[in-house]
Structure 1
Amino acid sequence: MRNGTLAIRANAGWLPLLCLCFAATAAAQDKARAGDAGADAQEREPVVQVELVEPPEPGSVPGPGAPQPPIEVQRPTGFRAIAPPEFPGGEASLRAYLRDNLQYPSQARKAQTQGVVVVRFDVDVDGTLKNINLLRDIGGGCGAEAERLVRNMPPWRPAQDSGTPVKQEYTLRIDFELAQWLQDRKARK
Protein backbone atom coordinates (compact mmCIF):
# COMPACT_ATOMS: atom_id res chain seq x y z
CA MET A 1 0.00 0.00 0.00
CA ARG A 2 1.41 3.37 -0.99
CA ASN A 3 -0.22 6.81 -0.36
CA GLY A 4 -3.49 5.16 0.63
CA THR A 5 -3.62 3.20 -2.63
CA LEU A 6 -3.62 -0.59 -2.73
CA ALA A 7 -2.66 -2.21 -6.03
CA ILE A 8 -3.56 -5.82 -6.77
CA ARG A 9 -2.33 -7.84 -9.73
CA ALA A 10 -4.47 -10.84 -10.54
CA ASN A 11 -4.95 -13.46 -13.20
CA ALA A 12 -8.02 -12.82 -15.39
CA GLY A 13 -9.54 -16.07 -14.12
CA TRP A 14 -9.88 -14.50 -10.67
CA LEU A 15 -11.82 -11.47 -11.95
CA PRO A 16 -15.33 -12.53 -10.75
CA LEU A 17 -14.03 -13.22 -7.24
CA LEU A 18 -12.13 -9.94 -7.09
CA CYS A 19 -15.16 -7.99 -8.30
CA LEU A 20 -17.32 -9.61 -5.61
CA CYS A 21 -14.75 -8.80 -2.90
CA PHE A 22 -14.36 -5.24 -4.21
CA ALA A 23 -18.13 -4.69 -4.27
CA ALA A 24 -18.52 -6.00 -0.71
CA THR A 25 -15.67 -3.79 0.50
CA ALA A 26 -17.10 -0.73 -1.25
CA ALA A 27 -20.56 -1.33 0.25
CA ALA A 28 -19.07 -1.66 3.73
CA GLN A 29 -17.11 1.55 3.24
CA ASP A 30 -20.22 3.43 2.07
CA LYS A 31 -22.06 2.40 5.24
CA ALA A 32 -19.10 3.50 7.35
CA ARG A 33 -18.93 6.89 5.60
CA ALA A 34 -22.62 7.49 6.16
CA GLY A 35 -22.13 6.91 9.89
CA ASP A 36 -19.01 9.13 10.01
CA ALA A 37 -20.46 12.26 8.40
CA GLY A 38 -18.56 14.43 10.87
CA ALA A 39 -15.20 12.68 10.29
CA ASP A 40 -12.15 14.79 9.68
CA ALA A 41 -11.73 15.76 6.02
CA GLN A 42 -8.05 14.76 6.10
CA GLU A 43 -8.87 11.09 6.81
CA ARG A 44 -9.24 9.22 3.55
CA GLU A 45 -10.18 5.67 2.79
CA PRO A 46 -7.61 3.66 0.86
CA VAL A 47 -8.20 3.31 -2.86
CA VAL A 48 -7.92 -0.18 -4.34
CA GLN A 49 -6.53 -0.53 -7.87
CA VAL A 50 -6.98 -3.84 -9.68
CA GLU A 51 -4.73 -4.76 -12.62
CA LEU A 52 -5.71 -7.75 -14.73
CA VAL A 53 -2.98 -10.05 -15.98
CA GLU A 54 -3.58 -12.38 -18.91
CA PRO A 55 -2.90 -16.07 -18.31
CA PRO A 56 0.27 -17.45 -19.92
CA GLU A 57 0.11 -19.03 -23.36
CA PRO A 58 -0.40 -22.81 -23.31
CA GLY A 59 2.95 -24.56 -23.49
CA SER A 60 4.95 -21.49 -22.40
CA VAL A 61 5.17 -22.73 -18.80
CA PRO A 62 6.64 -26.24 -18.42
CA GLY A 63 4.22 -28.65 -16.78
CA PRO A 64 4.91 -31.70 -14.67
CA GLY A 65 7.08 -34.23 -16.45
CA ALA A 66 8.49 -31.63 -18.86
CA PRO A 67 12.26 -31.75 -19.24
CA GLN A 68 13.93 -29.38 -16.83
CA PRO A 69 17.25 -27.67 -17.41
CA PRO A 70 20.10 -29.43 -15.58
CA ILE A 71 20.99 -28.11 -12.15
CA GLU A 72 24.63 -27.17 -11.85
CA VAL A 73 26.11 -28.33 -8.56
CA GLN A 74 29.27 -26.62 -7.49
CA ARG A 75 31.69 -27.98 -4.94
CA PRO A 76 31.76 -25.78 -1.82
CA THR A 77 34.91 -23.74 -1.48
CA GLY A 78 37.42 -25.07 1.01
CA PHE A 79 36.14 -28.66 0.67
CA ARG A 80 38.74 -31.30 -0.09
CA ALA A 81 38.15 -34.94 -0.91
CA ILE A 82 40.75 -36.98 0.94
CA ALA A 83 41.02 -40.74 0.46
CA PRO A 84 41.77 -42.29 3.88
CA PRO A 85 44.94 -44.28 4.60
CA GLU A 86 44.70 -48.02 4.07
CA PHE A 87 46.45 -51.14 5.34
CA PRO A 88 48.09 -53.08 2.47
CA GLY A 89 45.34 -55.26 1.01
CA GLY A 90 42.50 -53.36 2.66
CA GLU A 91 40.30 -53.91 5.72
CA ALA A 92 40.12 -57.71 5.36
CA SER A 93 43.93 -57.93 5.30
CA LEU A 94 44.14 -55.69 8.37
CA ARG A 95 41.77 -57.97 10.31
CA ALA A 96 43.73 -61.05 9.15
CA TYR A 97 47.00 -59.42 10.30
CA LEU A 98 45.52 -58.69 13.73
CA ARG A 99 44.06 -62.21 14.05
CA ASP A 100 47.32 -63.92 13.00
CA ASN A 101 49.70 -61.75 15.03
CA LEU A 102 47.80 -61.01 18.24
CA GLN A 103 49.45 -62.63 21.28
CA TYR A 104 46.90 -62.62 24.09
CA PRO A 105 48.79 -61.46 27.21
CA SER A 106 49.06 -64.17 29.89
CA GLN A 107 47.84 -61.79 32.61
CA ALA A 108 44.72 -61.01 30.52
CA ARG A 109 44.15 -64.75 29.85
CA LYS A 110 44.32 -65.57 33.57
CA ALA A 111 41.91 -62.74 34.45
CA GLN A 112 39.79 -63.50 31.35
CA THR A 113 40.07 -59.85 30.35
CA GLN A 114 38.15 -59.04 27.18
CA GLY A 115 37.13 -55.88 25.35
CA VAL A 116 38.24 -53.30 22.84
CA VAL A 117 41.56 -51.46 22.90
CA VAL A 118 41.68 -48.24 20.85
CA VAL A 119 44.94 -47.00 19.34
CA ARG A 120 45.45 -43.75 17.42
CA PHE A 121 48.42 -43.12 15.15
CA ASP A 122 49.56 -41.02 12.20
CA VAL A 123 50.06 -42.54 8.76
CA ASP A 124 52.86 -40.45 7.25
CA VAL A 125 53.20 -39.58 3.55
CA ASP A 126 55.54 -42.57 3.06
CA GLY A 127 53.09 -44.94 4.80
CA THR A 128 55.06 -45.32 8.04
CA LEU A 129 53.13 -45.25 11.31
CA LYS A 130 54.14 -42.58 13.83
CA ASN A 131 52.88 -41.04 17.09
CA ILE A 132 51.22 -44.24 18.32
CA ASN A 133 48.94 -43.41 21.27
CA LEU A 134 46.77 -45.68 23.37
CA LEU A 135 43.30 -44.12 23.74
CA ARG A 136 41.52 -46.97 25.56
CA ASP A 137 43.09 -49.85 27.46
CA ILE A 138 41.29 -52.77 29.10
CA GLY A 139 44.25 -53.80 31.26
CA GLY A 140 46.05 -57.09 31.66
CA GLY A 141 48.72 -56.08 29.15
CA CYS A 142 46.24 -55.72 26.26
CA GLY A 143 47.19 -52.07 25.66
CA ALA A 144 50.88 -52.94 25.35
CA GLU A 145 50.02 -55.78 22.95
CA ALA A 146 47.92 -53.45 20.79
CA GLU A 147 50.82 -50.97 20.61
CA ARG A 148 53.19 -53.82 19.66
CA LEU A 149 50.85 -54.92 16.86
CA VAL A 150 50.71 -51.40 15.42
CA ARG A 151 54.51 -50.87 15.68
CA ASN A 152 55.14 -54.09 13.74
CA MET A 153 52.66 -53.37 10.93
CA PRO A 154 53.97 -53.02 7.38
CA PRO A 155 53.81 -49.54 5.80
CA TRP A 156 50.29 -48.42 4.87
CA ARG A 157 49.04 -46.74 1.72
CA PRO A 158 48.97 -43.08 2.82
CA ALA A 159 45.92 -40.84 2.61
CA GLN A 160 45.53 -39.05 -0.73
CA ASP A 161 44.46 -35.46 -1.30
CA SER A 162 43.76 -35.06 -5.02
CA GLY A 163 46.31 -37.79 -5.77
CA THR A 164 49.01 -36.37 -3.49
CA PRO A 165 50.02 -38.43 -0.41
CA VAL A 166 49.28 -36.61 2.85
CA LYS A 167 49.82 -37.36 6.53
CA GLN A 168 46.61 -38.33 8.33
CA GLU A 169 45.58 -39.57 11.75
CA TYR A 170 43.96 -43.02 12.02
CA THR A 171 42.07 -44.62 14.91
CA LEU A 172 42.08 -48.42 15.16
CA ARG A 173 39.91 -50.64 17.35
CA ILE A 174 41.47 -53.96 18.32
CA ASP A 175 39.14 -56.59 19.78
CA PHE A 176 40.44 -58.85 22.54
CA GLU A 177 38.05 -61.81 22.68
CA LEU A 178 39.57 -64.74 24.53
CA ALA A 179 37.28 -67.47 23.14
CA GLN A 180 37.83 -66.29 19.56
CA TRP A 181 41.59 -66.05 20.10
CA LEU A 182 41.73 -69.61 21.48
CA GLN A 183 39.67 -70.87 18.52
CA ASP A 184 41.92 -69.07 15.99
CA ARG A 185 45.01 -70.43 17.76
CA LYS A 186 43.73 -74.02 17.47
CA ALA A 187 42.92 -73.51 13.79
CA ARG A 188 46.49 -72.32 13.06
CA LYS A 189 48.09 -75.45 14.63
Structure 2
Amino acid sequence: MTTHESFATATFPVDIRPLTGDETNAALPDLIGLLRDAVDNGASVGFMAPLAESTARQYWLDVFASLSRGEREIWVAQAGDRLVGAVQLEPCGKANGRHRAEVQKLFVHSHWRRKGLARRLMQALEQWALEHGRSLLVLDTETGSAAEQLYQSLGFALSGQIPDFALSPDGTLRPTSVYYRQLSR
Protein backbone atom coordinates (compact mmCIF):
# COMPACT_ATOMS: atom_id res chain seq x y z
CA MET A 1 0.00 0.00 0.00
CA THR A 2 1.37 3.44 -0.88
CA THR A 3 1.66 6.27 1.60
CA HIS A 4 -1.19 8.07 -0.15
CA GLU A 5 -3.47 5.03 0.09
CA SER A 6 -2.78 4.47 3.78
CA PHE A 7 -3.49 8.13 4.44
CA ALA A 8 -6.68 8.08 2.36
CA THR A 9 -8.23 5.33 4.45
CA ALA A 10 -7.59 7.16 7.71
CA THR A 11 -10.31 9.23 9.37
CA PHE A 12 -9.75 12.97 9.40
CA PRO A 13 -12.05 15.95 9.44
CA VAL A 14 -12.31 17.30 5.90
CA ASP A 15 -12.29 21.02 5.18
CA ILE A 16 -13.77 22.41 1.98
CA ARG A 17 -12.08 25.62 0.89
CA PRO A 18 -11.05 27.66 -2.14
CA LEU A 19 -7.59 27.03 -3.54
CA THR A 20 -5.64 30.26 -3.80
CA GLY A 21 -2.94 31.07 -6.32
CA ASP A 22 -0.17 31.10 -3.73
CA GLU A 23 -1.04 27.51 -2.72
CA THR A 24 -0.79 25.97 -6.17
CA ASN A 25 2.82 24.77 -6.01
CA ALA A 26 2.25 22.97 -2.71
CA ALA A 27 -1.05 21.52 -3.96
CA LEU A 28 0.34 20.25 -7.27
CA PRO A 29 1.46 16.75 -6.16
CA ASP A 30 -1.88 15.98 -4.49
CA LEU A 31 -3.87 17.34 -7.44
CA ILE A 32 -1.82 15.26 -9.88
CA GLY A 33 -2.53 12.17 -7.77
CA LEU A 34 -6.20 13.06 -7.51
CA LEU A 35 -6.60 13.44 -11.28
CA ARG A 36 -4.71 10.23 -12.00
CA ASP A 37 -6.84 8.34 -9.45
CA ALA A 38 -10.03 9.67 -11.06
CA VAL A 39 -8.98 8.71 -14.60
CA ASP A 40 -7.53 5.35 -13.60
CA ASN A 41 -10.84 4.56 -11.86
CA GLY A 42 -12.90 5.30 -14.97
CA ALA A 43 -13.89 8.96 -14.62
CA SER A 44 -14.52 10.55 -17.99
CA VAL A 45 -12.85 13.90 -17.32
CA GLY A 46 -11.03 14.42 -20.60
CA PHE A 47 -8.14 11.97 -20.33
CA MET A 48 -7.33 8.41 -21.30
CA ALA A 49 -6.08 5.74 -18.87
CA PRO A 50 -3.47 5.21 -17.75
CA LEU A 51 -2.84 8.92 -17.24
CA ALA A 52 0.85 9.85 -17.31
CA GLU A 53 2.08 12.01 -14.46
CA SER A 54 3.55 14.50 -16.95
CA THR A 55 0.16 14.92 -18.65
CA ALA A 56 -1.59 15.46 -15.31
CA ARG A 57 1.11 17.95 -14.26
CA GLN A 58 0.71 19.99 -17.45
CA TYR A 59 -3.06 19.98 -17.07
CA TRP A 60 -2.82 21.44 -13.57
CA LEU A 61 -0.22 24.01 -14.60
CA ASP A 62 -2.64 25.20 -17.30
CA VAL A 63 -5.47 25.32 -14.74
CA PHE A 64 -3.28 27.32 -12.35
CA ALA A 65 -2.54 29.83 -15.12
CA SER A 66 -6.29 30.21 -15.67
CA LEU A 67 -6.78 30.64 -11.91
CA SER A 68 -4.13 33.37 -11.78
CA ARG A 69 -5.85 35.23 -14.63
CA GLY A 70 -9.15 35.16 -12.70
CA GLU A 71 -10.79 32.91 -15.30
CA ARG A 72 -11.48 30.00 -12.95
CA GLU A 73 -12.20 29.18 -9.32
CA ILE A 74 -11.13 25.96 -7.59
CA TRP A 75 -12.34 24.39 -4.35
CA VAL A 76 -10.56 21.55 -2.62
CA ALA A 77 -11.43 19.02 0.05
CA GLN A 78 -8.54 18.79 2.49
CA ALA A 79 -8.08 15.98 5.01
CA GLY A 80 -5.12 16.65 7.25
CA ASP A 81 -2.33 17.79 4.96
CA ARG A 82 -3.72 16.07 1.83
CA LEU A 83 -6.14 17.19 -0.84
CA VAL A 84 -8.72 14.46 -1.43
CA GLY A 85 -11.20 16.23 -3.70
CA ALA A 86 -11.58 19.19 -6.04
CA VAL A 87 -14.04 21.01 -8.27
CA GLN A 88 -13.66 23.92 -10.66
CA LEU A 89 -15.95 26.69 -11.82
CA GLU A 90 -15.34 28.68 -14.98
CA PRO A 91 -17.42 31.86 -14.97
CA CYS A 92 -18.45 32.95 -18.45
CA GLY A 93 -16.40 35.96 -19.49
CA LYS A 94 -18.71 37.10 -22.28
CA ALA A 95 -20.76 40.24 -21.74
CA ASN A 96 -24.03 38.41 -22.39
CA GLY A 97 -23.11 35.49 -20.10
CA ARG A 98 -21.95 37.15 -16.89
CA HIS A 99 -24.83 35.44 -15.08
CA ARG A 100 -23.61 31.90 -15.80
CA ALA A 101 -20.67 29.61 -15.10
CA GLU A 102 -19.60 26.09 -16.04
CA VAL A 103 -18.92 23.42 -13.42
CA GLN A 104 -15.84 21.38 -14.35
CA LYS A 105 -13.78 18.46 -13.10
CA LEU A 106 -15.50 17.42 -9.88
CA PHE A 107 -13.60 14.51 -8.40
CA VAL A 108 -12.99 12.89 -5.05
CA HIS A 109 -10.20 10.39 -4.43
CA SER A 110 -11.54 6.84 -4.72
CA HIS A 111 -10.76 6.09 -1.06
CA TRP A 112 -12.79 9.10 0.07
CA ARG A 113 -15.94 8.64 -2.00
CA ARG A 114 -19.39 8.14 -0.50
CA LYS A 115 -18.63 10.48 2.41
CA GLY A 116 -20.50 13.53 1.09
CA LEU A 117 -17.39 15.38 -0.11
CA ALA A 118 -18.60 15.91 -3.70
CA ARG A 119 -21.85 17.36 -2.36
CA ARG A 120 -19.95 19.68 0.01
CA LEU A 121 -17.63 20.81 -2.81
CA MET A 122 -20.65 21.62 -4.97
CA GLN A 123 -22.33 23.52 -2.13
CA ALA A 124 -19.22 25.70 -1.72
CA LEU A 125 -19.12 26.30 -5.47
CA GLU A 126 -22.82 27.24 -5.55
CA GLN A 127 -22.41 29.63 -2.62
CA TRP A 128 -19.58 31.42 -4.42
CA ALA A 129 -21.64 31.55 -7.63
CA LEU A 130 -24.54 33.22 -5.83
CA GLU A 131 -22.26 35.70 -4.07
CA HIS A 132 -20.70 36.64 -7.42
CA GLY A 133 -23.91 37.08 -9.40
CA ARG A 134 -23.84 33.75 -11.22
CA SER A 135 -27.42 32.51 -11.25
CA LEU A 136 -27.06 29.74 -13.85
CA LEU A 137 -24.69 26.78 -13.64
CA VAL A 138 -24.12 24.41 -16.56
CA LEU A 139 -22.17 21.17 -16.88
CA ASP A 140 -21.87 17.97 -18.82
CA THR A 141 -21.17 14.53 -17.47
CA GLU A 142 -21.03 10.98 -18.75
CA THR A 143 -24.54 9.59 -19.14
CA GLY A 144 -25.27 6.90 -16.58
CA SER A 145 -22.33 7.78 -14.32
CA ALA A 146 -22.42 8.18 -10.55
CA ALA A 147 -21.70 11.87 -11.15
CA GLU A 148 -24.94 12.17 -13.12
CA GLN A 149 -26.87 10.81 -10.14
CA LEU A 150 -25.13 13.28 -7.83
CA TYR A 151 -25.96 16.28 -10.04
CA GLN A 152 -29.59 15.19 -10.26
CA SER A 153 -29.76 14.93 -6.46
CA LEU A 154 -28.37 18.48 -6.24
CA GLY A 155 -31.21 19.85 -8.34
CA PHE A 156 -29.58 20.01 -11.76
CA ALA A 157 -32.04 19.57 -14.63
CA LEU A 158 -31.26 17.54 -17.73
CA SER A 159 -31.14 19.67 -20.85
CA GLY A 160 -30.32 16.84 -23.24
CA GLN A 161 -27.92 14.10 -24.25
CA ILE A 162 -25.30 13.87 -26.95
CA PRO A 163 -24.47 10.36 -28.22
CA ASP A 164 -20.84 9.27 -28.70
CA PHE A 165 -19.61 12.52 -27.17
CA ALA A 166 -16.30 11.40 -25.69
CA LEU A 167 -14.09 8.41 -25.23
CA SER A 168 -14.15 6.97 -21.74
CA PRO A 169 -10.72 6.36 -20.18
CA ASP A 170 -10.81 2.79 -21.56
CA GLY A 171 -11.47 4.00 -25.13
CA THR A 172 -15.22 3.35 -25.41
CA LEU A 173 -17.38 6.06 -26.98
CA ARG A 174 -19.89 7.28 -24.41
CA PRO A 175 -22.79 9.73 -24.45
CA THR A 176 -22.83 12.85 -22.32
CA SER A 177 -25.70 14.48 -20.49
CA VAL A 178 -25.92 18.27 -20.37
CA TYR A 179 -27.34 19.78 -17.17
CA TYR A 180 -28.19 23.20 -15.80
CA ARG A 181 -29.22 24.61 -12.46
CA GLN A 182 -30.78 28.00 -11.84
CA LEU A 183 -29.69 29.34 -8.48
CA SER A 184 -31.70 31.68 -6.31
CA ARG A 185 -30.98 33.44 -3.06
TM-score (norm 2): 0.22
TM-score (norm 1): 0.22
Point out the structure with max Rg over C-alpha: 1
From the two aligned structures, give the one with the greater strand fraction.
2
From the two aligned structures, give the one with the greater helix fraction.
2
